[in-house]
Amino acid sequence: MTDRELAEKIVELVGGKENIVSVRHCATRLRIIVSDKEKIQTKEVENLDKVKGSFFNSGQYQIILGTGLVNRIYDETVKITGRADIGESTEEKKEVVYGNKFQRAIRMFSDVFVPIIPVLVATGLFMGLRGLLTQEAVLAVFGMTSDDVPSSLLTFTQILTDTAFSFLPALVCWSTFRNFGGNPVIGIVLGLMLVSPSLPSSYDVGSGVAEPLEFFGFIRVAGYQGSVLPAFATGIITAKFEKWLRKQIPDAIDLIVTPFITLLVGIVLALFVLGPILHYVENGVLFVVENLLFLPLGIGGLLYGCFGQLLGIFGIHHILNFLEISMLAQDGWNYLNPIGTCGNVAQAGAVLAVAIKATSNKTKQVAYPSCLSALLGITEPAVFGVNLRFVKPFIMSMIGGGVGGFLASNLHLRATGMSITGIPGTLLYLNEQLPLYLLVNVISFAVAFALTWMFGFNKKMENQ
């Protein structure tokens, strides 16, 4: 089946293009918002060639296709339906409301942060590769020392590793405006204003090198390099304000007046109201999360490694993007990644045990590739296609992830980037941590595999 044929069948089985409000995609899933979810023929969709599973969550029908393929099917689907990744301004979309307020809020986080994750993934990989140039043990293999590395090369790598986080508010504002119906270019400029060279850098203020600017005798202002919440909240409010303003301003002067007022109101709101408040909120949230992760005796790692896997089932795992981005922006380390990786690898261990023990060719055909996919960091096929379907393998993977998370916490593992786990995730640990990273993941895999083999799956379960 060609990409075009698969896209046509998907459109047909979700109720036709007249039932589709909008189409989006993330790294592995095609996300479709429909007018009437009762028209979706779920079983038929899941039986399509190359489809690894599907589920309805947070108002979106999500079809698991895998990396690479999802991009091509998205492009073909958009050509067929004419409905691309549209923003909130679409009137049809406003009439379709699925899920409670919390679920819709999480979906909003997802819609904003998913488009900027590829850039942050690349930045994390650059951080890992830069680490090779500063590790004496690695350089010694090639008969070199740190003195042999040209300073110009280190400067070049610094451009690769620092740019995305230095201008993070611009990325967040752009994506927020894009999703809430504002002009994305205005969003970019507003985000750049938050990190303007005219403001003292938040990094310099934090290290004591510079003092924040003072306004009105009590408001202290610095740049928001690496901050997420101030740019996110400012983007939402200003995008909505811009949409409202365009309805009030006459067309003849809209081009001049609307951007002027929007940017003025947006930056005043960001620097003097939202920024100072939300910066403290952001730091508070990070403080709480990191203290939970660093609970004594590895308890935090055990709990997150075990129960963190449930976040994806309920569609709220994208809230972690905010936390990981903030951690990396604050001190260059991601403490969630090594523990979350153990959960992903445990899913691979559990699904491999099912694949070997299963008698059904259908189960084997789904389970074997799902194991490889999970080892590469894509767990949806394993979770929704196999482990969660039989329940017990998923529970065994939770235990395996908890054991790995416990060890990762006690060994103080931390990543240089985000959003890649398993085998590709080794690129985030190209330092003295790499042997420990491999160790905790092997243990997670082995525990989940052994428990699933002994207690989590039997042939009778396939016929239930």
Phi, psi of 143 (to 5 degrees): 70, 30
Active site residue 342: no
CA-to-CA distance for 400 and 240, rounded, in angstroms? 45
- Please enumerate in sequence order all residues whose Cβ is within 8 A of that of 140, keeping only pairs 6 or more positions apart, or say none: none
The closest of 409, 416, 290, 287 to 340, measured between CA atoms, is 409
What distances in angstroms separate CA 280 from CA 109, 172, 229, 287, 292, one per listed residue? 19, 18, 10, 10, 18
Q: In DSSP terms, which residues pair with 220 in a beta bridge?
A: 214
Among 26, 173, 306, 342, which one carries the catalytic annotation?
26
Phi, psi of 48 (to 5 degrees): -70, 145
What distances in angstroms separate CA 102 from CA 35, 58, 106, 108, 181, one per listed residue? 20, 9, 6, 10, 21
The closest of 97, 66, 98, 76 to 23, measured between CA atoms, is 76
What the block records as the tokens of 313 is 């089932």
Is residue 30 within 8 A of residue 74, CB to CB? The reply is yes
Distance between start and end Cα atoms, the chain: 31
Q: How many other C-beta atoms can be found within 10 angstroms of the C-beta atom of residue 134?
A: 13
- Please enumerate in sequence order all residues whose Cβ is within 8 A of that of 420, keeping only pairs 6 or more positions apart, or say none: 121, 124, 125, 377, 427, 428
Catalytic residues: 26
